[in-house]
């Protein structure tokens, strides 16, 4: 039985998969190679880059017009800026790959001698020149994880590739593909030897084009999951298919991980052919987040970087507008953390869930709060009591707790979400909507109560205008969100962060009707 792949390149015999070459603009790739171009393929981690490169290598070698070799240079990362060791690793790995892929041992026999004779800053150029001249068939080189290299090591590789460019194709590779998370133009390479910051576009100005490998389309998600149904008979309900697409927006790792969790790890073997429902998908999502799977953990680790904070923090805080540094925005888009199109927003709902939970993970564990305190005799969640307790807590402790966040601009919203997560996570779940220009953060508590699912909206706004205007705007936004989510209750939270304000003026609680007639609890903090 094939299965959903969440680790490494896809193998069609083992994995359900969308054929990797179908995800490339193969006509452009062929044209670049034919025209002797050097170009870039980039995409976020676990999107399918390596699978695409390997499939391209096999296609070109099968057609026999070129000899194509794939090499992964990530192992060189451990040597940091030890240029000689990085070049040794690069050439050694390339020679082994040529031997295995092409049964060509020419490079294997010569590379170490070239390194000893010419030194690390010329060895790649000389080795590739001699190898290209040893066979009349043009050479195509696919270099994966190029941006794992850093500093002078990365500069040396890029500059040596550039130095031999005019010799192609008789004396250098006809085409080179650099593959990584980021486009080479976005590299900012700190050279220790030159004591300077070098732009990647300057070090590799022979790049003809940059191609980005996209996420799955909706049709590709349905086709991938349909392969499991076709081979096993286990179906995904229409709601489950829609949930996978909505929650992942086609991010390949997430699609495979949700499907793998529900089809192969959720329930006992005798139950494996029951239909997969939307609730199964949401439960699988929660398990992935709670286990802090490597993909999500690596993404969360990026939140510690200052250039990531400068983009993500305004999204979390719900500000009306913010001008970003272009390079910051390009970087978080290359990571996949922020969507490629506008408006600026987190890439998909699963990432949107991971971000605030990761930023508040430790603090959640420190709250001395228990879910049972807020559950009534009939099993419902007393959200009014919960919000009143948070208001008291916020007044007494917010100044201390908010300063513990790296993302202090979004501190009040994060503190509320941490408090709610601690309580709700034991019996229900929270869905979140936030992004630039929204002017608020929308939270939806989903709480099962017997055979009924209760939904409660909590909307957070920062006080920027007058209090009356902020409340009026917030009431309509909350009512609209309640209607969209079919929620039975709504709470509007106004955070007043203006300097010099007394708590007596900031703390309040009352009930108001929106223009549409919906009653909403209003809380000031």
Query: pLDDT digit string (tens) for 254-296?
Result: 999 999 999 987 655 556 789 999 999 999 999 999 898 889 9
Domain boundary among 212, 242, 258: 212
Residue 265: per-residue pLDDT:
78
Alpha carbon distance, N-terminus to C-terminus of the chain: 56
Same domain, 203 and 264: no
Same domain, 306 and 434: yes
Domain boundary among 187, 212, 237: 212
Same domain, 270 and 393: no
Check pLDDT > 60 for residue 420: yes
Same domain, 127 and 263: no
Q: What single-letter DSSP state applies at residue 325?
A: P
**Residues with Cβ within 8 Å of residue 227, at least 6 apart in sequence:** 2, 16, 17
Same domain, 342 and 458: yes
Residue 433 placed within a domain: yes
Same domain, 250 and 313: no
Check pLDDT > 90 for residue 225: yes
C-alpha to C-alpha distance for 117 and 474, rounded to whole angstroms: 72
Same domain, 208 and 223: no
Strand ranges in 48-145 using DSSP code E only, listed in sequence order: 67-72, 139-144
Residue 227: which domain range? 218-291
**Residues with Cβ within 8 Å of residue 196, at least 6 apart in sequence:** 190
Residue 234 placed within a domain: yes
Cβ proximity of 335 and 299 under 8 Å: yes
Check pLDDT > 90 for residue 252: yes
Check pLDDT > 90 for residue 198: no
Same domain, 189 and 268: no
Check pLDDT > 90 for residue 44: yes
Same domain, 194 and 248: no
Residue 2 placed within a domain: no
Residue 34 placed within a domain: yes
Same domain, 202 and 272: no
Whole-prediction pTM: 0.91
pLDDT in tens, 65-104: 999 999 999 999 999 999 999 999 999 999 999 999 999 9
Section 219-224 average pLDDT: 98
Residue 188: per-residue pLDDT:
77
> Which CATH number covers residue 27?
3.40.50.300
Percent of the chain at pLDDT exceeding 70: 98
Cβ proximity of 20 and 48 under 8 Å: yes
Domain boundary among 186, 212, 238: 212
Q: How many domains would you assign to the chain?
A: 3
Same domain, 255 and 304: no
| Residue whose C-alpha is closest to residue 109's, from 121, 92, 126, 124 | 92
Joined together, the tokens standing for residue 89 give 């690793």
Residue 13 placed within a domain: no
Same domain, 243 and 317: no
pLDDT in tens, 152-170: 999 999 999 999 999 999 9
Residue 368 placed within a domain: yes
Instruction: Measure CA 210 to chain center.
Output: 20
């Amino acid at each position: 039985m094939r299965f959903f792949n969440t680790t490494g390149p896809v193998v069609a015999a083992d994995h359900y998969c969308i054929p990797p070459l179908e995800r490339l603009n193969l006509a452009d790739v062929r044209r670049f190679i034919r025209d002797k171009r050097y170009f870039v393929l980039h995409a976020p981690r676990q999107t399918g880059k390596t699978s695409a490169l390997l499939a391209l290598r096999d296609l070109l070698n099968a057609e026999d017009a070129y000899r194509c070799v794939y090499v992964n240079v990530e192992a060189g990362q451990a040597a940091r800026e030890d240029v000689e060791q990085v070049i040794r690793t690069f050439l050694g790995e390339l020679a082994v790959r040529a031997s295995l892929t092409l049964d060509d041992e020419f490079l294997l026999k010569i590379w170490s001698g070239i390194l000893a004779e010419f030194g690390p800053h010329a060895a790649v150029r000389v080795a590739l020149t001699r190898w290209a001249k040893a066979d009349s068939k043009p050479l195509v080189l696919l270099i994966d994880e190029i941006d794992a290299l850093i500093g002078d090591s990365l500069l040396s590789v890029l500059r040596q590739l550039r130095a031999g460019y005019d010799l192609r194709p008789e004396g250098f590779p006809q085409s080179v593909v650099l593959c990584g998370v980021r486009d080479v133009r976005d590299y900012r390479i700190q050279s220790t030897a030159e004591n300077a910051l070098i732009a990647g576009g300057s070090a590799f100005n022979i790049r003809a084009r940059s191609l980005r490998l996209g996420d799955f389309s909706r049709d590709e998600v349905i086709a991938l999951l349909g392969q499991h149904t076709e081979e096993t008979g286990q179906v995904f309900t229409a709601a489950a298919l829609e949930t996978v697409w909505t929650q992942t927006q086609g991010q390949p790792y997430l699609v495979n991980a949700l499907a793998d969790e529900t089809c192969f790890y959720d329930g006992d073997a005798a139950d494996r052919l029951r239909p997969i429902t939307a609730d199964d998908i949401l439960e699988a999502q929660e398990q992935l987040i709670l286990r802090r799977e490597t993909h999500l953990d690596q993404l969360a680790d990026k939140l510690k970087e200052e250039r990531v904070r400068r983009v993500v923090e305004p999204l979390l805080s719900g500000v009306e507008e913010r001008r970003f540094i272009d390079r910051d925005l390009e970087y978080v888009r290359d990571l996949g953390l922020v969507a490629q199109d506008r408006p600026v927003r987190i890439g998909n709902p699963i990432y949107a869930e991971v971000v605030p939970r990761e930023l508040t993970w430790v603090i959640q564990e420190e709250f001395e709060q228990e879910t049972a305190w807020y559950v009534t005799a009939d099993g419902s969640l007393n959200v009014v009591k919960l919000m009143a307790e948070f208001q008291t807590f916020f007044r007494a402790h917010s100044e201390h707790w908010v300063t513990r966040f790296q993302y202090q601009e979004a501190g009040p919203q994060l503190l509320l979400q941490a408090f709610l997560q601690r309580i709700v996570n034991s019996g229900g779940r929270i869905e979140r909507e936030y992004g630039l220009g929204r002017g608020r953060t929308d939270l939806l508590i989903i709480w099962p109560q017997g055979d009924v699912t209760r939904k409660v909206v909590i909307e957070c706004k920062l006080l920027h205008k007058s209090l009356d205007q902020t409340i009026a705007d917030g009431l309509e936004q909350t009512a609209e969100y309640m209607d969209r989510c079919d929620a039975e209750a709504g709470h509007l939270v106004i955070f007043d962060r203006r300097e010099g304000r007394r708590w007596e003026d900031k703390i309040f609680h009352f009930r108001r009707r929106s223009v549409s007639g919906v009653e909403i609890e209003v809380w000031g903090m």
